[in-house]
Chains A and B, each alone.
Chain A
Amino acid sequence: MGIVLGGLAFAIFGPLLNLGLWAVTEKWYYPHKLPLEYGLTYWERVFRPTGNAMESLSTSVSIALLTVILCLAVSIPGGWALSRRSLPWRTVILLTFLLPQAFPSVAVYINVARIFYTIDLNGTIFGVVLVHSVHGLVFSIWITTASFAAVDIRLEEAARNIGASGLRTFLTITMPLAAPGIMASAIFVFLESLDEFTGTYFVGVPDVMTLPLLLFSASMEGNYQIASITALILLVPSVGFMFLIERFLKADVLAKVGS
């Protein structure tokens, strides 16, 4: 068992370690097994305030935040409505949001770009935000629906009985109780947008340069140091979230996802 686990650890961490090495390499060429010189000059180049990377990072983060705002703006009312079982065609509506994950998306993005081109949305931040939102919606809708469904309806009824209005009940009782789940869905949407490549490739390029696209072009130019440092920047939130997810997504909410 020790050998199997060791092999697995190598399979999982080997590529990550290799990336870490590339990130601190100054010089490394065939046939040397390890870098010839280590250093941080490429880090200086990436984090230089005027560099491409910082600009891409801020573009990426702005797009991701706008995507979260758009997704939550439509998902909080939508998720609340879907958490009430009386809604007609409830299952069909829930499944509709899964569709973007159920079809291969490259051809869809190609045609979104074609449509956006005619309405001047191609190459704009807003266009990219729209494309990212479609894929984020399944997370925000399904998780907010589950979070609202996990709120004990008797608490809402008690608030209504002592005279609170529907809106006040929602804002002071329902929302605070559902907040951790909504937070989890926001993180999902944020990461999905931060990591998105294909949609941005067709809709944003060359005007909107996000971090994944910068990574791609650096890698294609053979600049593995810049590509690896960019990859590390993208890795940190992804791995961090993997360890945090259980804290945000409680079992009672998880049990209600998709039901």
Chain B
Amino acid sequence: MKKPLRYAIIGSGAAGTEAACQLRLRDPESEITVITASKLQFISRYDLPRVFEGVDDWRELLVYPPEFYEDNRITVRRNTWVAGVNPRENKLNFRHKEEMSYDKLLVASGGGGYMPEALREFLPYMNPFSTFSNAARLRDSLGKKGKVLMLGSDMVGLDLARYLTSAGHDVTVYANELLFWPHEIKPEDTAPYVKALETMGIKVVFGRKPVAVEPVNSSSKAGKYTRRLVFEKGKAELANVVMPFYGLMPALDFMIGANVDIERGLLVNPELKTTNDRIWAAGDVCQIWSPEENRYSFYYGWNNVKEMGHLAAHNMTGDNREIKTAQTNELKITKKGELHSPYWEHD
């Protein structure tokens, strides 16, 4: 009897989970293992703002119920960190000193929030927003009518900002040139889009460079606020939370030494294969070669990411299809004068 193939997928987001589903369909006898640092099964980032609509139980946010993984024999190793990939022995090394063998590997580890070097030391005083626990903590920190200061911001941050303002919170964005990232808007063209944000109740401030974030003693004059954002030249602003949104940084540290090409992301051909025959990549982690543009590019957005997972699974099981973008990149202003981005759309 033929030994079933062992597929390992690093990352349980939209790309990784879609790939696992497709692999099960295309190779019913295979062993499929998804590795994720998350404690929970797949929750879409796009659903996290629902905690501000009163969703208190994370189980309501699961994209697939636990039975789905059992029924499809997809093993999800949660709370597990990949420390390295050994391409010669086709093994993953976990942080907890266990190895796991694979026949084919898909890297779909996504991206973490990028943080400028100068602000990294203040991370403990900032609120990230990528997991359910992040969302719940944010909700608890804000209480009713809380004040949020967003640094940099990008379309992920602005997506959250619109939910926060709808929930009655006060949101100010201290913007830089990447305000609408990954949309590429020239500085001279940003005015109508900024106005659209203000129509949505989001305040946008340019030209203030944050240099520090400090905790504030609640018994001080700060009142209900617990954070102080300090700008260049000493001015400061108080708030309940400070959140960084400086774009995404592919989560790839564990791939160093894996004998694959890395630039900012993991470099893959249009079939999503890396320079290693047994390793593919999908989602925010990969930079895909575009023969037309003669460069490597990232394809962001739910639909693109999901499509990449789908395609990678097909190519890992014998197809040779090339990626095509599954969505537009056009930033729009609605009839109500509000901003709308295709990067906010999801299933």
Do A and B bind? no
Residues of chain A whose beta carbon lies under 8 Å from any beta carbon of chain B: none
